[in-house]
Structure 1
Amino acid sequence: MTHAAAPVALPTIEFINTEASLQDLASAVTLLFEPAPPIVAHLYSKRPYTSFSALIDETEVLLSNPDQYLTLAEQLDVINAHPRIGAAKANLSALSLIEQGYTPEDAAKKVDATSTPSQDDEQTQATLKRLNEEYEAKYGFKFVVFVNGRPRSVIIPVMEERIKNSTKEAEMKVAMSDMVAIARDRLKKLNAAKL
């Protein structure tokens, strides 16, 4: 599935509070959290919000106490909604591309599929693919980290460390916490784009 390269924008919070269907809210939440139906259902039931920041705050409550609100299967659905680090560029949203260290120009044009990656890019890609497989085999869900524009190569030692020295419970907690950090950063970028 490819995402459109068109600019993305959130609807008004007033629309979310008064007129939005569950699908409308899902579209807005996807911009912040990727497609995660368990988050959407929870947020829909908790309307109204004073702002998108308050909506993210409510999500933080949900993800900080997932056992209170979500089944284990729902928690895994939320984590697995995020793309793999180093995933095929065509399968990433424009925001995910930028977060994974691609330039805004690459994100806007979704990177020409015929372009030839450098040898360093190929090596980084192969390493990330291997580490994603190791991580998922060990923990049973995707690796999630707040990349924050760092080059993908810098994430390799982070993945290696977490594969070697963490637990499933700790990784689920970090994934949910980082998802909130990602959403806050995306909201800041989306709000900046309006100016």
Structure 2
Amino acid sequence: MKLTVDELARLFGGRTRFVERLAQDPLRHAREVLRALPDEEFREALNAHPRIGERPASAIAAAEQGAENDPSVLAELSRLNSAYEAKFGFRFVVFVNRRPRTQIVSVLWARLERTRGQEVATAIDELVAIAEDRYRQLASPETGNE
């Protein structure tokens, strides 16, 4: 299945230079491409995703993040997102896989204890996991996003 640049942009959260580079061979070499990107382009690829707990920019991201709207959880996510971005210089990206936001709070706390190098590696894996899941859904529309 060949994807257009616009379809890849849906998988990765936005049309970035990373997505345009990847369009020639989607997903197969995504991790390698991400690791080789200049820092500015790497951050651009991660920052295309919505912050966990904020209103998602796309319907697909909204379905993945669920509808949990506990104000205290959303406030904690906002605070932790800010701390994460201040520490690492890029947006926290996690393959939510329909987990409750309370569980993501724990993940975010744990990842804040890590080094930037560890987080770069994890962010790459998480970004690709999100895209692979979205790709499977595109390839098998009957599975939907419920």
TM-score with structure 2 setting the length: 0.87
Matching residue of 1:37: 16
1:79 correspondence with 2:67: no
Q: CA offsets per residue over residues 138-177 of structure 1, 9 Å max, x none? A: 11111011111101111001101111x2011111111111
Q: CA offsets per residue over residues 7-66 of structure 1, 9 Å max, x none? A: xxxxx62xx5xxxxxxxx33111121111422223124xx3x5xxxxx211223312xx2
- Identical columns (%): 37
Per-residue deviation at 1:132?
Answer: 0.6
- Structure 2 distance, partners of 1:194, 1:75, is 33
Match of 2:103 among 154, 167, 173: 154
Matching residue of 2:137: 189
Task: Tell me how large the CA RMSD over aligned residues is.
Answer: 2.0
Q: Secondary structure at the match of 2:54?
A: coil
Matching residue of 1:27: 6
Matching residue of 2:32: 61
Structure 1 runs of 4+ with >4 Å offset = none
- Structure 2 distance, partners of 1:142, 1:152, is 16
- Structure 1 distance, partners of 2:97, 2:75, is 21
C-alpha contact 1:36 1:77 (8 A) present in aligned 2: no
Match of 2:119 among 156, 159, 171: 171
Structure 1: runs of 5+ lacking an equivalent: 1-11, 17-24, 50-54, 104-116
29-38 or 70-79, which moves further after superposition?
29-38
Number of positions where the alignment pairs a residue of Structure 1 with one of Structure 2: 143
1:122 correspondence with 2:77: no
Bigger-Rg structure (1/2): 1
C-alpha contact 2:9 2:16 (8 A) present in aligned 1: no
- Structure 1 distance, partners of 2:29, 2:128, is 10
Q: Give the counterpart letter for 1:100 in structure 2.
A: Q
- Structure 2 distance, partners of 1:40, 1:82, is 13
